[in-house]
Every structure is written in structure tokens, then in C-alpha cells.
Structure 1
Amino acid sequence: MDQIVESPEKKPLANTRKVFVKTYGCQMNVYDSQRMTDALSEQGYEPTDTVEDADLVLLNTCHIREKASEKVYSELGRLQKMKRKRAKAGAADLKVGVAGCVAQAEGAEIIRRAPVVDLVIGPTTYHRLPDVLARVESGQRVIETEYAVEDKFEHLPEINREKTLARGVSAFLTVQEGCDKFCTFCVVPYTRGSEVSRPLSQLIVEARRLVDAGVREITLLGQNVNAWHGEGPDGKPWGLGDLLYHLAEIDGIARLRYTTSHPRDMDMRLIEAHRDLPKLMPYLHLPVQSGSDRILKAMNRRHKAEDYIRLIDQIRDVRPDLALSGDFITGFPGETDEDFEDTIRLVERVGYASAFSFKYSARPGTPGADLPDHVPEEVKAERLERLQKLLMAQQTAFQQSLVGQTMDVLMEKPGREPGQMVGRSPWLLPVIVDANPAKIGDIISVRITKAGTNSLHADPA
């Protein structure tokens, strides 16, 4: 779902320029959009949630799913019409930029096909955005997609307390970027580059600044987040589990989460963190993609279905209340009916609280696109419908199992009705609480009274 970076409730200066950022895709793109907005604020740009008010529009794009590029070009067509209309009215010129993974993959093509675009900037170079804009102001159309040699995070402005506070009491913290796994269906290694882990000291500083800005819950992000590694204060190699133990010691952090993980990088230290850290929420997104060993091999996942199931059992042994989320692809090239039945059996064996499932779509430049025996679209769709029916039944059963339970909820925002508040459960579900005297940022005990389709209802306990 497309997401819009929210603007702080702050009256801009009369000469302030405004930027509108439209964010497609994953949480990492949301984080990137926020950091781009922070970088632009030092250049006199204030965020706006109204595209018509913007002096600069940035589309922060995702290249994972089918027709990602088409969505971008469609949006650029609308912006072209808006730019012409403004020009006829004698209004200030509108600058348009494309950022993110589509920009990285198709930079020159975007410039060729979309005259409205002034700049194209990749996900590893958005710290250069102010310099790129300066070149655009001089009349250039700029493509900035060469992988940065320098650490982009060192060149970004410090976390802005006011802007962070306006975004809420939960925040993202990117700890790792890129991927070295080269799954045959995935474009990430080609658009985000090789795995790079941010230094421990840099992460601790950013986490403390988030806490100082009022953040209570931090979600660690990475294309392959549990591949994070670095040097600990003792000089020894650290993994994500060690990082979580360290972050849990920071006063003010009430909750920790991380996403997205790869089964091959779930080591014992990380599993132990689920056992030992009350601040680490009992929710894990761990994609498997298929339950067929034959298809997993074709996908280059480098694990078997039984390896995945054994891993889930290990984690649930130490954290019995763990809720699991996953990713699934139906109709990968060569998938037979029996291969699909293996996926159904895995889902039935594991049990998911939520999941993301898609028909396979060939991504240009990936090995999967060149494999033989592509599955007909109608077969992909039939399999997806059956899989989603099963996953939805499991999701409903999980949410119904919470009715009557008492749990701690982090209050995040006012509800739609007077006196109502909306918080977040340990399992990431929104919780609507009536007649609630709590303040945003409080963690209160509630009793779940009803489960909706995508949220829970509760009374204060």
C-alpha cells in the first residue's frame, strides 16, 4: 500500500518551499522517505501532505512487485499534467524526482520516457539529495544512481526531535541494507546492492536520539536484517541478537522489533534474545516463500522446508506466545500441483498470525525470469486464492484467540470516536480502546473484548 510521509503540525515560513513525498513499498522505504525529508529540511523544504502545494515532489519507489514501474510512470503522467497547468497559471515551477529501487534499476529510462522528471536518485545515494537539487536548480536533469562509496548515514542530518515526535511513538531504525542471498525471484541485490551493516556506535547514537524525541518502540530494519553484524565494545564479532541485547539496556526503549529476516541467518543468539528480552515483542516475520524443497532449490533459498519448520519449533520452544508472519509466492516457474500442496501442508503445520502472498511475477534481470515452465496466470491465481483463504482462516483464528486476554498495549494515537485511543498490541495488531484516560506513549493493560478483521477492541483492565 502506498504511504504518504506525514507533515509535522508546524506553520511554515513565508519563503519556505514545500516537498511532497509519496512512498511505495516496504518499511525501509518509509524510513528512507523520512530521512530524505529530514535532509531537505536543512535546505528550507517543509513536508506537505498535499501534492498541489508542493514545490518538489519525490516518488520513493519499490521494484519488488509486478507492474511497479507502470505505477510510477502513471503517477509521473499525472504530475506532468499538473506541471503544465501550473505553468499556464504562472505559478512557481514544480520539480519532480524519482527515488528508490525503480530509480536505481531504470534511471536512464525514466529520464528518457518522462520529461517531467528533473532528478533520479537511488536508495544508496539519497544523502546527496541537497547537492543534486542544487544541480537541478542550475538547469540540469540529474541521474544519481552510482553506488555510494561513502557511508550515506554519516552524511545525513541528525535525528530531528520535533519531526520525530510528530511521526509518533514508534519509529524505524535501518541497521542493514542490501542482500547477498540472490534468490532467483528477487531484484533486491541488484537495486540495493550487497549486504552492508551499519556500525554499532552509529546505531546506538541514533537509537538514543529517537528515545530523546519520545519514541517508545523501535523496529530494526534491513532487507535481510538478521544478517547484521559488527564489532562489539569487547572487540568481538556481534550479530543481531547481541545488538538487541544492547539496545534493550537503553532506558526509555519499551519495545523492540525487527524485520525482515532470512531463515538462514536465525542463529542461537537471536533465538535466545526472544527467550531473554521482555522488550523484544513476540512477533516474527520470517519468509519461507514455498513449502516445496524442489521449488525452494529453484528459488536459491538454500534451505529446505523441514529446516524452516525446525527453526520455528526452536523459537516457539523458547517463546511460546510467538506469532509468526510469512511471505509466499504461488506459481513460481516449474511449480506443480504437488509442489503447491507442499506449501499448503507447511502452512497448516506452522500456523500463521498474518502473511503476505503473491502470484509470481517475473522481474526483468533476475534468473527466475529465464527459467522454463512458467505457470499459466489462471493457475497462479487459483493457487493464490486457495492459499489466501487458508492464511486468512489462520489469521482470524489467531485474532479470535486473543479475545478475553489481558495484554499491554502501547498507545499511539487518538481514535475516531471521542475519548477513544488506538494502541499497538505485542503482536502488532491495532487495539481500539474506549473510555481511555491514557496518553500517547503510555503502555496500559487492557482486556480484549472483540476481534475485528484487522484490529482488536478492548477495555482498560
Structure 2
Amino acid sequence: MKFTVLTFGCQMNVHDSDWLIRAMESRGWTAVEESEADIFIINTCSVRDKPEQKVYSVLGRLAPLCKNPGSFVAVGGCVAQQIGDGFLEKFPHVRLVFGSDGIAQAPDALVDLAANHEKRLVLTDFLGDYPEREGGEVQPNADLIPPGIGTIPGQAFVNIMQGCDNFCAYCIVPYTRGRQKSRSSEAVIKECAHLVKSGVREITLLGQNVNSFGIDKKGEDISFAQLLYKISAIEGLERIRFTTSHPKDIAPEVIKAFGELPNLCPSLHLPVQSGSDRILKKMGRKYDRERYLGIVEGLKEACPNISLTTDLIVGFPGETDEDFEQTMDMLERVRYESSFSFKYSDRPGVAAVKMKPKVPEDVAQARLARLQERQKRITRKSLEALEGHETVVLLERLSKRQEEGGMTWRGKDPGGRVVNVHFAGYGEEQKLGGKLVKVKITEAKNHSLVGAKVGEPW
């Protein structure tokens, strides 16, 4: 059976899609381009309205491609959890709907539906515990799983938890991914060791709020900081990253780890959302400017070269010009290397829907443009400060722009910055994905760096 997976949203969705591809390939299915597929799997995101609307557009586009009896669409992820069997009512070519906990059952469900053309299924029940999956997550000592489409050589994502208990006023995640459920530390550590054994050099730990890992176990499991130290000790693991962190839950031991663990990358995504205490309180973030800036100070003391990135929302209900200027001030104080910034949009069922007054669209757009322009200047200066410095880059893939006399590869330094490196005399037959190379930064671009290799890749 030929299938394709279309993915929207966060790194957790990317990881889920990659696992799903491998699970279906292990059943003899073949991952192909959309134009060649019989079965279409859409992994959806509903954190903001725009990606949700894209799902409906894609479903309309796929309808003419599902005329054959064996062709159908499966919708998974957050929008699937939110809409449920509404997809079956509105779109006849949708025959499977699975939520965040239902993904573990999705592979067998897809095989079942491919054989039974009249059947339709909805898998949106939340489970009490983390739903372990086949393959690396549930059988860490099984045969090594070949990388699926979309994987980056040498890198892997590992889910350590799912769901969230914070219920921020603007966020739909607790309603679409459920309450927090941590995996057992033993399962996480075994999976990480399994991946390193298979050749993975960098692991990114994933969760809606990794800092609260284990809290839902009521003390029965280890803390996130303890998990970091145990994973760091895995022989052969060169780099560890994690995302996402809620500032209210980051422990002093986690901050300390950035100064003590040699393979914990000096890079942290720490969403601030707003620089205004008044707006942070309305958002239900449970920290203020002073607390957040104290965390930043601690991180920079533990790891002076740490690269900080963040999420920002402008136009939250009731946000005044003064509130917005405090967010702009936060950019200058922290000097984030990059940020994901968005206009607030109502999401169904969240507390902020009822909050007044709403910020006019044109005001929110103007604020977003100002913020992004300021961030662009800060990012450029941060990257320019790295010119002349040496670093180690984990190569990922060929760069989009090539030059004569060799091949140019792109990868990331320990801080998570994109670095393009030219290899004179190399051809396409030399596969460098997953290799490390020492480079000297020669030029800063708006969002990336250029480096010259110092020595050969290993």
C-alpha cells in the first residue's frame, strides 16, 4: 500500500509523523510523494487558527484523489482530537480520526481500514498513562529501526511525556493532548541508549513541558534534572537538547546542568509570551518579569555562551501600548537569538476567548511587525559576534545554495544555529549527514552562519 504523511505544527508532530512512517513501512507499506499515494495521513496542529484552517483546505484538495475504493484520508493530531467524528460527518473520504493518545493504535487501524473499505474509526479517547508505542519506544532492545523519511542523519527525537496541566488562558494543548502523562524514566533511557547504539549522536527530548517530567507520577519516578544526568552518561551520546520548557517549572538543578553536563547543548527555548506582568497574570503563566529574568541570569551564570530563544504573543486581550513596550524591553534585556512571535487568536474552549477588550487586528499586526523587526536586528548582531570563532557543526543535509568546486552542507552548532560549510573537492556521492566537523565562522547572515572547515569530518 502506498501512503504519504502531511505534517503541520510542532516538533512533537514531526516526531509522531516520522514514527508513523516507520511503523507503516514495517508493515510492508511504502511511503511515497502525495501524487503517488493511495492513503493520505494528515498530522494536524490547532495551537493557532491558521494551521487548523490549512487542514480543511488540504482535505478539500485531497477529495478528488480518493475516488478509488481503497483510497482514504486519516486525520490525526490536535485538530483530530478537537473535532473528532465531525470529520467523518463532513468529509466522506476521511475514514480514520486519531488523537494524541490514539496514535499508538493508528498503524493497526490503517491496515484494518485498507482491507475493509466500508469501515470508519475514531480513536480520540484519552488514556490514563502514557501510551507506549511499538518500535524504539516500547521495544528498546529490538532490532534497530531504519530511519524513516524526514529523519536527519545522526539526530533523533524522544518523547518523554505528553499533555500539559498548566491551562494557560490562550492555549488549547491541555484540551487536545490531555493532562500531563510522563513516560517511565527506564523506558526513556533505554530508548536513548538504543538510538545511540544505532548511530544517533544528538537526541532532543520532547514534551509540552519537560521541566515537569515525573511530577504526575507523584514522586514515584525521577525528576527531569535527574533524567538529564542519566541520559548524559550514555556512552557515545555527543549532544542532548530538550524542548519545551515552562519557566515556572525549571528547577535550579536543571539550570546547574547547563554548566556541568558536557553534552548538554548550550541552547534553550524558554517561552516568555509577554514582558508585561499584567498580561502574564491574565495569561495564567504563574511567573512575572522578575522571576523570568532571574532564570535567565542563572542560566547565563551557569553557561555564559548559552543561546536563548523564545515564544511571544502580541495582541493578547487587554494588551495596551505600555504592555507591548514591556515586551519589547524584554527582547533587549534577554537578547534572544531568535523568537517565534504570533498575533493572539481565539482558540475554542480556552479562557482567553471571553476576555475583553480584544486588540484590533491592525494594532496587533503593527505591533507584531515592530517586534519582528527588532528581533531581526538583535539576531543579526548576535550572529555577527560569532565571526572568527571556532565551533563544531553536526552536518544535516546539502545546502539549498551550492557553489562550484565542491559541495556545501548545512548543519547546526551546539547553540542550535544553522551553519553552512563548503567542502572543496567533495561530490554528492560523499554522504556527510550525521558527521561532525570543526569550523571557523567566517560570515554572519540574517538567520544563519557561514563556516570554513578546520580539519576533516568525523
Q: Work out whether the TM-score is over 0.5.
A: yes
Deviation of 1:164 after TM superposition, in Å, equals 5.6
Amino acid in the other structure paired with 1:279: N
Partner of 1:53: 36
**Cα contact 1:420–1:435 (8 A) shared by 2:** yes
Deviation of 1:68 after TM superposition, in Å, equals 2.9
Partner of 1:74: 57
Partner of 2:199: 214
**Cα contact 1:73–1:114 (8 A) shared by 2:** no
Q: Distance in 2 between matches of 1:192 and 1:22?
A: 19
Q: Compared with structure 1, are the counterparts of its residues 229 and 107 closer, same or farther at alpha carbon in structure 2 (3 Å cutoff)?
A: same
Deviation of 1:173 after TM superposition, in Å, equals 0.7
Q: Does 1:329 align with 2:322?
A: no
Q: Compared with structure 1, are the counterparts of its residues 396 and 58 closer, same or farther at alpha carbon in structure 2 (3 Å cutoff)?
A: same
- Deviations 1:255-295 (CA, angstroms, capped at 9, x unpaired): 01001100011111101110101211111100010011111
Match of 1:201 among 186, 191, 203: 186
**Cα contact 1:179–1:195 (8 A) shared by 2:** yes
Q: How does 1:28-427 map to 2 (within 5 A)?
A: 28-48=12-32, 50-84=33-67, 87=68, 93-136=70-113, 137-138=115-116, 139-149=118-128, 151-155=130-134, 158=139, 160-163=144-147, 167-229=152-214, 237-416=221-400, 417=402, 418-427=406-415
Q: Distance in 1 between matches of 2:185 and 2:148?
A: 21
**Cα contact 1:200–1:230 (8 A) shared by 2:** no
- Deviations 1:196-236 (CA, angstroms, capped at 9, x unpaired): 1111110111111211221110011101111112799xx98
Amino acid in the other structure paired with 1:194: R
Deviation of 1:377 after TM superposition, in Å, equals 0.5
Deviation of 1:132 after TM superposition, in Å, equals 2.0
SS at match of 2:313: strand
Q: Compared with structure 1, are the counterparts of its residues 66 and 401 closer, same or farther at alpha carbon in structure 2 (3 Å cutoff)?
A: same
Match of 1:434 among 422, 433, 436: 422
Amino acid in the other structure paired with 2:237: I
Deviation of 1:431 after TM superposition, in Å, equals 1.2
Q: Distance in 1 between matches of 2:146 and 2:47?
A: 33
Q: Distance in 1 between matches of 2:24 and 2:445?
A: 40
Deviates more, 1:130-139 or 1:102-111: 130-139
**Cα contact 1:135–1:142 (8 A) shared by 2:** no
**Cα contact 1:335–1:375 (8 A) shared by 2:** yes
Deviation of 1:76 after TM superposition, in Å, equals 0.5
Q: Distance in 2 between matches of 1:238 and 1:287?
A: 24
Q: Does 1:26 align with 2:5?
A: no
**Cα contact 1:19–1:54 (8 A) shared by 2:** yes
SS at match of 2:62: helix
**Cα contact 1:412–1:422 (8 A) shared by 2:** yes
Q: Compared with structure 1, are the counterparts of its residues 447 and 155 closer, same or farther at alpha carbon in structure 2 (3 Å cutoff)?
A: closer
Amino acid in the other structure paired with 1:445: K
Q: Compared with structure 1, are the counterparts of its residues 411 and 135 closer, same or farther at alpha carbon in structure 2 (3 Å cutoff)?
A: closer
Deviation of 1:370 after TM superposition, in Å, equals 1.0
Q: Compared with structure 1, are the counterparts of its residues 230 and 341 closer, same or farther at alpha carbon in structure 2 (3 Å cutoff)?
A: closer
Amino acid in the other structure paired with 2:412: R
**Cα contact 1:288–1:328 (8 A) shared by 2:** yes
Q: Compared with structure 1, are the counterparts of its residues 294 and 240 closer, same or farther at alpha carbon in structure 2 (3 Å cutoff)?
A: same
Deviation of 1:149 after TM superposition, in Å, equals 4.2
SS at match of 2:441: strand
Q: Distance in 2 between matches of 1:364 and 1:410?
A: 41
TM, length-normalised to structure 2: 0.91
Structure 1 gap segments, 5+ residues each = 1-16
Deviation of 1:455 after TM superposition, in Å, equals 1.9
Amino acid in the other structure paired with 1:124: D
Partner of 2:436: 443
SS at match of 2:423: coil
Deviates more, 1:380-389 or 1:428-437: 428-437
Amino acid in the other structure paired with 2:361: E
Q: Does 1:457 align with 2:441?
A: no
Q: Distance in 2 between matches of 1:18 and 1:393?
A: 46
**Cα contact 1:412–1:423 (8 A) shared by 2:** yes
Deviation of 1:108 after TM superposition, in Å, equals 2.0
**Cα contact 1:424–1:430 (8 A) shared by 2:** yes
Q: Name the Cα RMSD after superposition.
A: 2.1
Q: Distance in 1 between matches of 2:55 and 2:358?
A: 26
SS at match of 1:75: helix
Deviation of 1:303 after TM superposition, in Å, equals 0.7
**Cα contact 2:258–2:299 (8 A) shared by 1:** yes
SS at match of 1:163: coil
Which segments of structure 1 move beyond 6 Å, counting only runs of 4 or more?
none
Deviation of 1:451 after TM superposition, in Å, equals 1.3
Q: Distance in 1 between matches of 2:90 and 2:273?
A: 34
Aligned length: 436
**Cα contact 2:129–2:181 (8 A) shared by 1:** no
**Cα contact 1:330–1:380 (8 A) shared by 2:** yes
SS at match of 2:157: strand
SS at match of 1:408: strand
Deviation of 1:413 after TM superposition, in Å, equals 2.7
**Cα contact 2:135–2:145 (8 A) shared by 1:** no
Q: Distance in 2 between matches of 1:254 and 1:243?
A: 16
